[in-house]
Amino acid sequence: MSQFTIQDGVLHAEGVSLSAIAERFGTPTYVYSKAALLENFNAYHDACQGRDALVCYAMKANSNLAVLDLLARQGAGFDIVSGGELLRVIAAGGDPGKTIFSGVGKTVEEMQLALEKGILCFNVESIPELHRLNEVAGKLGMRAPVSLRVNPNVDAKTHPYIATGLKANKFGVAFDDALDTYRSAAALPNLDVVGIDCHIGSQLLDDAPLLEALDKLIELIDTLHGEGIHIHHLDMGGGIGVDYGVAGDKPAVPVGDYLTRVFARVDAWRAEKHEGRPIKVIFEPGRSIVADTGVLLTKIEYLKPGVEKNFCIVDAAMNDLMRPALYEAWMDVQQVTARAGEAVTYDVVGPVCESGDWLARERALTAQPGDLLAIMTAGAYGMTMASNYNTRGRAAEIIVDGEEAHLVRRRETPAELFALETVLK
C-alpha cells in the first residue's frame, strides 16, 4: 500500500495523518487514497493502450460516488449487478453505454431501466433470463445486446465463497450447454448476440486459471463462428487478487503481466484463424483497483485480558467490515502511532453482539485504550457490504488527495436508521 506510509512515527494516507483524520471525522471511518486509486486503474488502462479494449470497473467492490466519478473521468466503463448500481453510475457521471450488466437475478424493472438508459450489454446467465429479456425488449420495441456468461468449470483455487467458475456454482451457463444456449439466444427476435463472458472467481494470485478459461472461451468462439454466430467482444471478467499481507502467500500476479499474456493469446488466435475480424477485449476488475486504496480507521475502546485469549475491543465491527466474519479473511492491522513497550497478543473484536464479530485474530500490539488502529487493504468489499446491525450507523468515508482530506460520505445518525419505519396506529 504505497500511499499509506509512516511519517514522523504516524501512519499517513498520502500527506495526511490518520490521527488527524480521526480527530476531525471520528471513527470508525474508511479512508481512501486518490493517488492509489488512479495508479491501480492506470495499470489496466496503460496495458490496454493501442488495443480495442475496455476496462469496466466492478463497482460491487466499492460504489462510493466519488470513487465512481474519479474512475469515469479516467475513461472507465462499469460492471454492475443491479438497477441501483446503474443509477449510481449515472449519478457519478458514468456512461451507461460503457456499462455491462451482470448478475443471475435481473428483474423486469431492472431490464427496462438498463435498456432505456442504453446499456452496453447484458451478461445473461440462464435460458429463462434470455426469454425474459427478449420479452421485455420486445415490449419496448428494442433489441437487447447480450453476451452469455459461460461457466468454464475452471478451478480458480480461491475461497469457495468467492469461486464462481465451477459446475457447482450458481453463476453462468455450463460450458457443455453453452452452444445450445447461444443457438437459443440467436433465434430470439429481440436479442442481439454480441459477446461472450466469464468470471471464474475473485482474489486469484495466479493467472493460470484465467488463461485456462480464456482458452476454453476461444474454443467456443470458433465453434460459434462456424454456426454463423459472430462474437464481437470477449469479456474476461475480473479476479486478479491483491496482497493482504498473509504470511506465506505468493505475490499477486502484476496486472500488466496478466493483460500482456491475454493479448498475446488473443493475437495468436486471431493470426491463426480470424485475422482481419476484430474483437474487443473487456476486463471487469474490482478488488485489484480499490482494495489497497483504503483502510478502516478504528479506535480502541477496551483491552480485556482473558484466560485463553486477550481481546482488543474497538469501535469498528462486523457490520462495518464483514470480510473476516464472512469468510475468515485475513486483514493486516497497523497501529496508527507506534508505542514503546512489550507487545501483547490480542484478538481485535468489535462491540456487536456476535461471537463472529472479529476483525483480526492473534495480533501483537503495544496499544492502549484510545489508540487508533488501521485495518489495511480495506478499500474493497468493506463499505459496500456494511450493514446497520445492532442499529449501528455505517462509517464515514474520506478520500485523501495529497494534503487534503475530503468527506465523501458522512456517518449515519441513529435517527436516520429508523426514519423509514413506523409504528402501528
Q: Show pLDDT as tens, one digit a residue, over the chain (425 residues).
A: 689 999 999 999 999 999 999 999 999 999 999 999 999 999 999 999 999 999 999 999 999 999 999 999 999 999 999 999 999 999 999 999 999 999 999 999 999 999 999 999 999 999 999 999 999 999 999 999 999 999 887 765 554 544 444 455 656 899 999 999 999 999 999 999 999 999 988 889 888 889 999 999 999 999 999 999 999 999 999 989 998 888 777 788 899 999 999 999 999 998 887 666 789 999 999 999 999 999 999 999 999 998 899 999 999 999 999 999 998 999 999 999 989 999 999 999 999 999 899 999 999 999 999 999 999 999 999 999 999 999 999 999 999 999 999 999 999 999 999 999 999 99
Counting every residue written for the chain, the total comes to: 425
Give the C-alpha distances (Å, rounded to integers) separating 360 from 258, 346, 420.
31, 9, 34
| Res 207: pLDDT | 87
Q: The domain 103-283 is classified under which CATH number: 3.20.20.10, 3.40.630.30, 3.50.50.60, 3.40.50.2300?
A: 3.20.20.10
| Res 162: pLDDT | 43
**In the block, residue with C-alpha cell 453476451:** 147
Residue 196's closest CA among 152, 238, 144, 233? 233
| Res 161: pLDDT | 44
| Res 166: pLDDT | 45
| Res 275: pLDDT | 62
Q: Enter the DSSP assignment of 386.
A: -
Q: Give domain 4-31+291-417's CATH architecture.
A: Beta Barrel (2.40)
| Res 342: pLDDT | 93
Contact (Cβ atoms closer than 8 angstroms) between residue 289 and residue 61: yes
Describe the crossing of helices 108-117 and 83-91 by its angle, rounded to 10 degrees: 30
CA dihedral for 153, 158, 160, 163, sign (positive or negative) = negative
> Model's pTM, two decimal places?
0.94
User: How far is 177 from 120, CA to CA, in rounded Å?
Assistant: 25
Assign 201 to helix, strand or coil.
strand
User: How open is the CA angle 91-1-242, to the nearest 5 degrees?
Assistant: 75
Neighbours of 286 (CB within 10 A): 24
| Res 250: pLDDT | 77
Same fold yes or no, 4-31+291-417 and 103-283? no
User: How far is 56 from 251, CA to CA, in rounded Å?
Assistant: 24
- C-alpha distance across the termini of the chain, in Å: 54
Domain ranges of the chain: 4-31+291-417, 103-283
Contact (Cβ atoms closer than 8 angstroms) between residue 402 and residue 396: no
User: How far is 382 from 370, CA to CA, in rounded Å?
Assistant: 23
The H-assigned helical ranges of 188-277 are 208-226, 255-269
Q: Which residues of 268-283 are buried (b: 16+ CB within 10 A; e: fewer)?
A: ebeeeebeeeebebbb
Q: Looking at 77-190, which runs of residues are DSSP E strands?
A: 77-80, 99-101, 121-124, 144-151, 173-174
* Rg, C-alpha atoms of the chain: 23
- Can 312 be counted among the known catalytic residues? no
Q: Enter the DSSP assignment of 91.
A: H
Q: Enter the DSSP assignment of 408.
A: E
Selecting among 48, 56, 312, 353, the annotated active-site residue is 353
